[in-house]
């Protein structure tokens, strides 16, 4: 298997700036899963909204699609409630499985193992952090049945003061003995 990391380092790391280290870590871990015979399934909540918005949105959907196009045994599934995001992904990205609807309901009905759960669906408002943080906790709760030892969980838009999309996810995982393996603009955990 040819490693994706040189392509990632050259093509995407410079664009991802504050997200580059954690994305690289996730791809290293996914490649390790492939080497160990897993065919990783990546679930992303919150689909690309604008091509080329690397610093603002991060364009994770495009990066995951690129990874899957070079590692054909990996699968990317994205879900978003916004029809404009769905239409953009359908028009611009391949290979990908795209679902329009509420991410919590989608994850609740999802039945296969998840190797990377990337939570980034509900915009964070620092003036009103509760709705976004709660939504991402609900996503984790809905997907928890699909996680297996070694599954990666990542929440985007972490803030240095402990707030952000993943504040309640962080608290829950801490309470069950799972601490972050990376804690930057994105927070990454490994399910036990």
Q: What percent of the chain has pLDDT over 70?
A: 100
CATH number of the 5-190 domain: 3.40.50.150
Residue range 116-139: mean pLDDT, rounded: 96
Q: What is the DSSP letter of 164?
A: B
pTM for the structure as a whole:
0.96
Q: What is the pLDDT of residue 58?
A: 72
Per DSSP, the three-state class of 121 is coil
* Longest distance between any two alpha carbons in the chain, whole Å: 46
* Nearest-angstrom CA–CA distance, 5 and 182: 18
Q: What DSSP element (H or E) covers 84? A: helix 83-92
Instruction: Locate the domains of the chain by residue range.
Output: 5-190
Q: What DSSP element (H or E) covers 152? A: strand 147-155
Per DSSP, the three-state class of 190 is strand
């Amino acid at each position: 298997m040819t490693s994706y990391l040189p392509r990632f380092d050259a093509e995407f790391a410079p664009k991802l700036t504050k997200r580059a280290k954690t994305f690289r870590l996730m791809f290293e871990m996914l490649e390790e899963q492939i080497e160990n015979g897993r065919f990783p399934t990546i679930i992303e909540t919150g689909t690309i909204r604008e091509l080329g918005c690397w610093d603002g949105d991060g364009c994770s959907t495009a990066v995951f699609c690129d990874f899957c196009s070079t590692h054909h045994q990996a699968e990317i599934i994205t879900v978003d409630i916004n029809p404009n995001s769905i239409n953009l992904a359908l028009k611009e990205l391949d290979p990908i499985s795209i679902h329009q609807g509420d991410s919590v309901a989608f994850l609740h009905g999802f039945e296969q193992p998840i190797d990377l759960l990337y939570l980034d669906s509900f915009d964070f408002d620092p003036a009103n952090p509760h709705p976004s943080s709660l939504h991402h906790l609900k996503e984790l709760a809905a997907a928890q049945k699909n996680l297996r030892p070694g599954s990666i969980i990542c929440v985007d838009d972490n803030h240095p003061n402990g707030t952000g999309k993943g504040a309640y996810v962080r608290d829950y995982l801490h309470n069950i003995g799972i601490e972050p393996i990376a804690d930057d603009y994105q927070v990454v955990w490994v399910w036990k």
